[in-house]
A and B are shown apart, each in its own frame.
Chain A
Amino acid sequence: AQSVSQHNHHVILSEAASLELGCNYSYGGTVNLFWYVQYPGQHLQLLLKYFSGDPLVKGIKGFEAEFIKSKFSFNLRKPSVQWSDTAEYFCAVNPTGNSNYQLIWGAGTKLIIKP
């Protein structure tokens, strides 16, 4: 079955630390890849997405993600986190040809940044 794994459910970092959140998926075909973020008390919002082209994707607020096809991974990175990055982060995968509402979601990673 198709699935998305986010290896860390909780991550705690200090401000200015570097961040990498892992995301692996199981699907052999072509996929579109997404990272969503939910800040406390707010709606889920799109952070960045990969459809094709350069596998290094830059998103909002200094985040980036790299698609490594051979590893079935789409890890999220940020070189220096801020307290305002405290949020829950979701990786999602959409096998090409599926409708956008049929994303396969990871369980999420709760990120806490200590001031």
Chain B
Amino acid sequence: NAGVMQNPRHLVRRRGQEARLRCSPMKGHSHVYWYRQLPEEGLKFMVYLQKENIIDESGMPKERFSAEFPKEGPSILRIQQVVRGDSAAYFCASSHRQGGSGNTIYFGEGSWLTVV
């Protein structure tokens, strides 16, 4: 089984541009989670999606950030009008079942966004 695949691994954007980060979950996984790691901080949960549905977006910034997980294709985390503070590592994870206690979640390699 291929693991959780994220791309691009590194992305540089100028302030005001849009950033799109993609995540292909492990084969057979229909639950996807996005996390952000700001410099010198731990990972922070952003959003939990199941195919075509947002289950929990309690960690998503209210503006400029959106996520989707269409029926076909990867999950996309989209950041509009990026600012320097968006520079971070963005991790995607997936699971076979709902991400409840005891269920194993598998992580990708991360995508590093740098806003210049």
Given A44-B91, A44-B107, A44-B110, also A99-B99 (CB < 8 A)? yes
A99 touches B42 (CB 8 A): no
Which residue of chain A lies nearest to B32 when distances are taken between CB atoms in the complex?
A101
The minimal Cβ–Cβ distance linking B45 to chain A, given in whole angstroms, is 6
Contact-residue bracket for chain B: 20 to 34
User: How many A-B contacts at CB < 8 Å in the complex?
Assistant: 65
- Check: B88 CB closer than 8 A to any chain A CB: no
Interface of chain B residues 42 through 94 with chain A (CB within 8 A): 42-45, 48, 56, 91, 93
Main SS class of interface, B: loop
Report the minimum CB–CB distance from A74 to chain B (whole Å): 14
What is the total number of residues of chain A having a CB less than 8 Å from a CB of chain B? 28
Using Cβ atoms and an 8 Å threshold, which residues of chain B touch A36?
Answer: 107
* CB under 8 Å from chain B, chain A span 68-115: 90, 92, 94, 96-108
Nearest-Cβ distance from residue A44 to partner chain B, whole angstroms: 4
Would B44 and A105 count as touching, CB distance under 8 A?
Answer: yes
Of B44, B98, B109, the contact of A41 (CB 8 Å cutoff)? B109
Contact B107 A32 (CB under 8 A): no
Question: Cβ of B107 and Cβ of A45 under 8 Å apart?
Answer: yes
Determine how close the nearest CB of chain B comes to the CB of A77; give it in whole angstroms.
Answer: 21
Q: Are A101 and B45 in contact (CB under 8 A)?
A: yes
Give the shortest distance, in Å, between A96 (CB) and chain B (any CB): 7
A residues in contact with B102, CB < 8 Å: 51, 100
A107 to B107, CA, bound (A): 17
Residue in A4, A43, A104 whose beta carbon sits within 8 Å of that of B4 in the complex: A43
- B96-112 Cβ-contact flags toward A at 8 Å (1 or 0): 00111111111111100
A36 to B109, CA, bound (A): 13
Measured CB to CB, the residues of A under 8 A from B are 4, 9, 32, 36, 38, 41-46, 51, 90, 92, 94, 96-108
Chain B residues packing against A (C-beta within 8 Å): 3-4, 33, 37, 40-45, 48, 56, 91, 93, 95, 98-110
8 tightest A-B contacts by CB?
A105-B42, A44-B107, A101-B99, A105-B43, A43-B109, A101-B33, A100-B99, A107-B42
19 A-B pairs within 8 Å (CB atoms) are namely A9-B40, A38-B110, A43-B3, A43-B106, A43-B107, A43-B108, A43-B110, A45-B107, A46-B104, A51-B102, A94-B101, A100-B102, A100-B103, A101-B33, A101-B48, A101-B56, A102-B45, A105-B37, A107-B42
